[in-house]
Amino acid sequence: MQGKVIFISGIDTDVGKTVATGMLAKKLMLQGFSVITQKMIQTGCRDISEDILLHRKIQGIELTEEDHQGITCPYLFSYPCSPHLAAKLENVQILPEKIQKSTALLSEKYDYVLIEGAGGLMVPYYRYDTTMDYLAARGYPLVLVCSGKLGSINHSLLSLEVCKQRNIRLQTLIYNQYPDEDKLIAGETRAYLQDYLALHFPQASFEVMPPYAFTTESRSS
């Protein structure tokens, strides 16, 4: 029996999805499940995915055999930009079949495979193919990360509307409390999104991610 696959994305880049992925992995591990994380595409680093490194740090485990083999990050590019541009600069075509094959290998061994996307939901990885296209074609449940920053309501509602149009099953909306730049805006954003979710996505849960000990997430996509 294959493990369950969950996709983690965000309303924007640098919204906290790497930390959220690591914390969700840790939570499931504490419940007794075997869990591995996967980075769909990583840009802005070499050798080992920086986001995978942070996942493992949060999980409290060493890099796995699959990490060293590149299975948990099938595409790694050095330039810190959108995947489609990073791949273009290195004359590489990103093949969704390669990413899915890595996921399948991981799901044979682990109870849960948590896939972290690159950037936001509509980030392109090849010409006009986006993360949303990849997610919609495979039907994975989605954990979407938002924040209390100014503009988050707009970005969140746009992302949720697209999920509804593309029949994406929203499992959880995670509200990231970091950075807490304006308590008035953050408080209203949190309350607004929680009410909106209850009205329009009653099957989904709303979770608050506490400020994490690591105050900076990987700046790559």
pLDDT in tens, 148-197: 999 999 999 999 999 999 999 999 999 999 877 899 999 999 999 999 99
**Cβ proximity of 172 and 28 under 8 Å:** no
- Residue 158 located in a structural domain: yes
Longest dimension (CA), the chain: 47
- Report the CATH number at residue 119: 3.40.50.300
- Residue 161 located in a structural domain: yes
- Residue 29 located in a structural domain: yes
DSSP bridge partners of 7: 115, 142
Name the catalytic one among 4, 39, 88, 98. Answer: 39
| Residue 167 labeled ligand binder | no
Q: What is the number of other CB atoms lying within 10 angstroms of the CB of residue 69?
A: 10
Question: Which tens digits make up the pLDDT trace of 121-160?
Answer: 999 998 899 999 999 999 999 999 999 999 999 999 999 9
- Residue 103 located in a structural domain: yes
- What was the pLDDT predicted at 1? 63
Global confidence as pTM:
0.94
- Residue 221 located in a structural domain: no
**Cβ proximity of 152 and 19 under 8 Å:** no
**Cβ proximity of 188 and 149 under 8 Å:** no
- What was the pLDDT predicted at 219? 42
Check residue 171 and report its DSSP letter: E
DSSP bridge partners of 217: none
- What was the pLDDT predicted at 2? 76
Collapsing DSSP states into helix, strand and coil, what is residue 191? helix
- Residue 109 among the catalytic residues: no
**Res 79 pLDDT > 60:** yes
| Residue 116 labeled ligand binder | yes
**Cβ proximity of 21 and 198 under 8 Å:** no
Using a 10 angstrom Cβ sphere, with 0-12 exposed, 13-18 middle and 19 or more buried, the burial of residue 6 is: buried
Distances (CA, A) of 113 to 17, 116, 161: 15, 10, 26
Residue range 18-27: mean pLDDT, rounded: 97
The count of residues in the chain is 221
Q: Number of folded domains in the chain?
A: 1
Res. 23 pLDDT band, cuts 50 70 90: very high
**Res 216 pLDDT > 50:** no
Q: What is the number of other CB atoms lying within 10 angstroms of the CB of residue 71?
A: 18
Range of the domain at 149: 4-209
- Residue 214 located in a structural domain: no
- Residue 74 located in a structural domain: yes
Residues 6 or more apart whose CB falls under 8 angstroms from that of 196 comprise: 156, 157, 160
Token duo for residue 2: 């294959």
| Residue 151 labeled ligand binder | no
| Angle (CA) 186 20 122, round 5° | 80
- Residue 215 located in a structural domain: no
| Residue 188 labeled ligand binder | no
What proportion of the chain, given as a percentage, has pLDDT over 90? 88
Distances (CA, A) of 54 to 58, 92, 101, 116: 6, 26, 23, 12
